[in-house]
Amino acid sequence: MRKEIERLVELDREVKLLAHMGAVLGWDQETYMPPMAIGERAEQIAYLEGLAHEKAVSPEIGSLLGALGSSAENPLGDPSLEPLERAYLRVLRRAYDRETKLPGELVTELARAASLGQAAWVEARAASDFARFRPSLERMVSLQRSKAACLGPGRKPYDVLLDLYEPGNDEASVGAVFSALRAELASLLDRIRGRPQVDDSVVKRPCPEGRQAAISEWLMGELAYDRGRGRLDTVAHPFTSTLGSDDVRITTRFLPEAFASGMFSTMHEAGHALYELGIAPGPGYSRTSLSEASSMAIHESQSRLWENLVGRSSAFWSSRYTRLAELAGPALEGVGLEAFLRAINKVEPSLIRVEADEVSYGLHVILRFELESALLSGSLQVAELPGAWNAKMRELLDLAPPDDARGCLQDVHWSAGLFGYFPSYALGNLYASQLWDAMLAELPGIEARIEGADTAELLAWLRSKVHASGAACLPGELVERATGSPLDPGHFTRYLRAKYAALYGL
Domain ranges across the chain: 3-154, 171-504
Does the pLDDT of residue 50 top 80, yes or no? yes
Closest listed residue to residue 157, CA positions, set 144, 166, 167, 168: 144
The confidence score (pLDDT) of residue 217 equals: 97
* For range 66-94, the mean pLDDT: 97
DSSP per-residue letters across 341-363: HHHHT-----S-GGG--TTTHHH
Q: What is the mean pLDDT of residues 318-330?
A: 97
What does the pLDDT look like over 167-220, one tens digit per residue?
989 999 999 999 999 999 999 999 999 999 999 999 999 999 999 999 999 999
Distance from C-alpha of 6 to C-alpha of 69, rounded to nearest angstrom: 15
Q: What region does 42 belong to: left with phi over 0, alpha with psi -120 to 50, or beta?
A: alpha
463-493 pLDDT, tens digit per residue, is 999 999 999 999 999 999 999 999 999 999 9
Contact 111, 45 (CB under 8 A): yes
Mark out the alpha helices in 32-82 (DSSP H runs).
Answer: 38-56, 59-67
Closest CA to 455 of 270, 243, 297, 182: 270
Alpha-carbon separation of residue 124 from 32, 151, 384, 388 (angstroms) = 19, 31, 16, 18
Instruction: State the catalytic residues.
Output: 269
Give the pLDDT mean for 223-242: 95
User: What pTM did the predictor assign?
Assistant: 0.95
Which of 367, 339, 340, 342 is CA-nearest to residue 352? 367
CATH architecture for the domain at 171-504:
Orthogonal Bundle (1.10)
Q: Which distant-in-sequence residues (6+ apart) come within 8 Å of 15 by Cβ?
A: 52, 55, 56, 289
Average pLDDT over residues 425-433: 97
Judge whether residue 1 has pLDDT over 70: no
Question: Which pLDDT belongs to residue 231?
Answer: 97
Query: Per-residue pLDDT averaged across 375-394, rounded?
Result: 98
